[in-house]
A and B are shown apart, each in its own frame.
Chain A
């Protein structure tokens, strides 16, 4: 007989085991879906998860794809750990890209070592500014940050539309909605000849290290953790809640803004309407799959990045619809949330007496 028993305390081992379980279940369910669609499940999974990263180029593309996801997810983990539900990283990414792209366009046709740092800084500031809106509204006017941050995503995209269609559009570009190409001084250097992986990956790695330090070695990290468990306790302990809310939003916005910088000064090299395939939203999955832990987020960003690459490869070689990539992302989150049940409950097998 099977009996479900509530745990006295959430299990720590299960806490880190469920993401692995979720990925495993996603693979099984994915294989099943492929089978139902009439594809050979193992071959499909091979084209989905192995073929795209089997060579040096593929692996570099994986890192390129994982970089913005990791960076944003690290930023989001500051918010999520402290009970602040910033859903608008996509907007912060977009606004960061707008500010940094604007600066890069100012330096159009100029060369100089000082340009890139200014462009990067501008992106971080842009992201912070944009994230400060839901933060300030939450702290001083008690608004719901989920709604405000989400709605601001659409606002940021409209601002970008307006700029690339109108005032910032390339004067030699026949009025198509895109800006000039940035000068080389405003672009992140490539790490290897012939590959697209760029110096932005160091920003992501730095974010990982800094976040680990803040989470586990500082008073701020402790405060965030306490606020995450119980806001009342935090208040009772005398933490300055408002200050912390604004701080975590600023950190999160800066990370998302930097991810935007990485895209436009990296592989894209200009501003146009579509600078991100919704990295800001996908990074939410990454943050939770990585259990809001810096190292976990690295692995999670790689796993989610591969669903993008795999979907392309599977369509090219096996004619599997590309949108299965999104199905996989959805399944990972679903199975993760579902298996979190095991965190709080355990399943006991009780032998029947004969």
Chain B
């Protein structure tokens, strides 16, 4: 009798343990809130690729696409937090305040906000990628491939993220070709194929023979393909949309981070963090280099990529001057993260003014 009791006790303990482990491993549910449609082939598309990686790792996921940054965001977040999701990724800057507001009401749910800076509660983390490292690569390619020495750049909004990209791109292009000029057109949108195509056309008409973009649609590379100039894919590998024009793309690779964070919730090791990963951590990925690029440029880019990853090369290494010739970063120094986070001045060689 006694033995039977112990045996059943032990076996029920074992059963309980396996059930708990199984429950922890399987029951974590992740939710993703997207600003655009999953088929944009840019920003949202890549976040959804990341979500699929979480699914592949054995977790359940939910997503809501096309959530405006208006009063609606808060309701969607609350509904997700209320319906059994343990971790919620909010993938646009405009969700910052709603994310923090809802996080306060649901202390047991983890919130991960992309590209923001507010972490008002212990259950809110922020994450972003050092896209500017990728733009150092693009600048190097653009500076080498241009014949007109005019490089076009379609920008979205005058915020530090975008200014930083323009600067990093221009600095790298100048390094290989001191005569280049970067012309900017502000599209004032993240995703509007019509406007983006118009912006690209305006730049091509002004003599640009390489077009870079900091907006999300494939309209720009397609316009470049039509006009016979070079371009770079944004967020995802856009080669298939414009095989002749696209030299390479900078891909946003969120999957590893997402899987990591969801696993951390499952293991109970999730903690508040501010993540800013670049090429080295694999959050920024450079697509295949097009064979139109000379072989020596390709090997140069490969080396640069490795050096950026290892930290041997920094995108913002002095001396760096602003448009008026004032020293921004002294010789031998590199810009720190604080300076990068608030960067709102153009470096020398960028044409025009930042819209104010």
Taking Cβ atoms with an 8 Å cutoff, the residues of A that contact B are: 57, 61, 64, 158, 161-162, 165-167, 174-178, 181, 196, 263, 266-270, 272-277, 308-309, 312-313, 315-317, 319, 321-323
- Return the contact of A177 from the options B62, B64, B76, B159 (Cβ within 8 A): B159
Give 7 nearest A-B pairs by CB, closest first.
Answer: A267-B71, A274-B69, A277-B68, A166-B356, A274-B70, A315-B64, A277-B70
Contact A312–B94 (Cβ < 8 Å): no
Cβ–Cβ < 8 Å partners of B188 in chain A: 158, 161
Q: Which residue of A lies closest to B85 (CB)?
A: A316
Contact A272–B69 (Cβ < 8 Å): yes
Q: Which residue of A lies closest to B69 (CB)?
A: A274
Q: Which residue of B lies closest to A325 (CB)?
A: B66
Contact A317–B159 (Cβ < 8 Å): no
Contact A176–B74 (Cβ < 8 Å): no
Q: How far is the CB of A203 from chain B (nearest CB, A)?
A: 16
Contact A315–B72 (Cβ < 8 Å): no
Contact A167–B70 (Cβ < 8 Å): no
Taking Cβ atoms with an 8 Å cutoff, the residues of B that contact A are: 31, 37, 62-72, 74-76, 78-80, 83, 93-94, 97, 117, 157-160, 188, 341-342, 344, 355-356
Sample 23 A-B pairs with CB under 8 A, ordered by A number: A57-B78, A165-B355, A175-B158, A175-B159, A175-B160, A175-B342, A176-B93, A263-B71, A267-B71, A272-B69, A274-B68, A276-B70, A277-B68, A277-B72, A309-B75, A312-B67, A313-B79, A316-B83, A317-B83, A319-B62, A322-B66, A322-B67, A323-B65
Q: Which residue of B lies closest to A323 (CB)?
A: B66
For the complex, what is the distance from the CA of A198 to the CA of B78, rounded to whole Å?
18
For the complex, what is the distance from the CA of A308 to the CA of B72, rounded to whole Å?
9
Q: How far is the CB of A226 from chain B (nearest CB, A)?
A: 39
Contact B70–A268 (Cβ < 8 Å): yes
For the complex, what is the distance from the CA of A112 to the CA of B76, rounded to whole Å?
33
For the complex, what is the distance from the CA of A288 to the CA of B117, rounded to whole Å?
44
For the complex, what is the distance from the CA of A181 to the CA of B31, rounded to whole Å?
27
Q: How far is the CB of B1 from chain A (nearest CB, A)?
A: 50
For the complex, what is the distance from the CA of A181 to the CA of B98, rounded to whole Å?
12
Cβ–Cβ < 8 Å partners of A167 in chain B: 356
Contact B62–A312 (Cβ < 8 Å): no
Q: Which residue of A lies closest to B76 (CB)?
A: A312
For the complex, what is the distance from the CA of A322 to the CA of B198, rounded to whole Å?
29
Q: Which residue of B lies closest to A268 (CB)?
A: B71
Q: Which residue of B lies closest to A278 (CB)?
A: B68
Q: Which residue of B lies closest to A64 (CB)?
A: B71
A266-B71, A274-B68, A322-B66 given. 17 additional CB < 8 A pairs? A61-B75, A162-B355, A166-B355, A166-B356, A167-B356, A175-B344, A176-B93, A196-B71, A267-B74, A268-B70, A272-B69, A272-B94, A274-B69, A308-B72, A312-B64, A312-B75, A315-B64
For the complex, what is the distance from the CA of A319 to the CA of B32, rounded to whole Å?
12
Contact A273–B80 (Cβ < 8 Å): no
Q: How far is the CB of B14 from chain A (nearest CB, A)?
A: 35
Q: Which of B75, B76, B341, B342 has the most CB of A within 10 A?
A: B75
For the complex, what is the distance from the CA of A165 to the CA of B155, rounded to whole Å?
14
Q: Which residue of B lies closest to A309 (CB)?
A: B75
Q: Which of B31, B64, B65, B341 has the most CB of A within 10 A?
A: B64
Whether A273 touches B79, Cβ cut-off 8 Å, given contacts A175-B160, A322-B64, is: no
For the complex, what is the distance from the CA of A176 to the CA of B64, rounded to whole Å?
24
Whether A263 touches B70, Cβ cut-off 8 Å, given contacts A321-B65, A323-B37, is: yes
Contact A174–B71 (Cβ < 8 Å): no
Contact B79–A312 (Cβ < 8 Å): yes
Whether A196 touches B74, Cβ cut-off 8 Å, given contacts A177-B157, A316-B79, A322-B66, is: yes
Q: How far is the CB of B130 from chain A (nearest CB, A)?
A: 16
- Return the contact of A176 from the options B31, B66, B68, B159 (Cβ within 8 A): B159
Contact A316–B62 (Cβ < 8 Å): yes
For the complex, what is the distance from the CA of A178 to the CA of B92, rounded to whole Å?
14
Whether A316 touches B159, Cβ cut-off 8 Å, given contacts A174-B342, A175-B342, A267-B74, is: no
Q: Which of A167, A270, A272, A323 has the most CB of B within 10 A?
A: A272
Q: Which residue of A lies closest to B68 (CB)?
A: A277
For the complex, what is the distance from the CA of A313 to the CA of B67, rounded to whole Å?
12
Contact B94–A274 (Cβ < 8 Å): yes
Cβ–Cβ < 8 Å partners of B80 in chain A: 316
Q: How far is the CB of B216 from chain A (nearest CB, A)?
A: 16
Q: How far is the CB of B90 from chain A (nearest CB, A)?
A: 14
For the complex, what is the distance from the CA of A274 to the CA of B94, rounded to whole Å?
9
For the complex, what is the distance from the CA of A315 to the CA of B63, rounded to whole Å?
7
Cβ–Cβ < 8 Å partners of A176 in chain B: 93, 159
Contact A322–B65 (Cβ < 8 Å): yes
For the complex, what is the distance from the CA of A263 to the CA of B69, rounded to whole Å?
12
Q: Which of B31, B83, B94, B342 has the most CB of A within 10 A?
A: B94
Cβ–Cβ < 8 Å partners of B37 in chain A: 323
Q: Which residue of A lies closest to B93 (CB)?
A: A176
Cβ–Cβ < 8 Å partners of B75 in chain A: 61, 196, 309, 312
For the complex, what is the distance from the CA of A268 to the CA of B159, rounded to whole Å?
21
For the complex, what is the distance from the CA of A165 to the CA of B93, rounded to whole Å?
14
Cβ–Cβ < 8 Å partners of B65 in chain A: 315, 321-323
Cβ–Cβ < 8 Å partners of A316 in chain B: 31, 62, 64, 76, 79-80, 83
Cβ–Cβ < 8 Å partners of A267 in chain B: 71, 74
For the complex, what is the distance from the CA of A160 to the CA of B74, rounded to whole Å?
22
For the complex, what is the distance from the CA of A22 to the CA of B31, rounded to whole Å?
35
Cβ–Cβ < 8 Å partners of A322 in chain B: 64-67
Q: Which residue of A lies closest to B157 (CB)?
A: A177
Cβ–Cβ < 8 Å partners of A276 in chain B: 70
Cβ–Cβ < 8 Å partners of A273 in chain B: 69, 94
Q: How far is the CB of B102 from chain A (nearest CB, A)?
A: 11
Q: How far is the CB of A230 from chain B (nearest CB, A)?
A: 40
For the complex, what is the distance from the CA of A323 to the CA of B67, rounded to whole Å?
10
For the complex, what is the distance from the CA of A162 to the CA of B158, rounded to whole Å?
10
Cβ–Cβ < 8 Å partners of B342 in chain A: 174-175
Cβ–Cβ < 8 Å partners of B68 in chain A: 274, 277
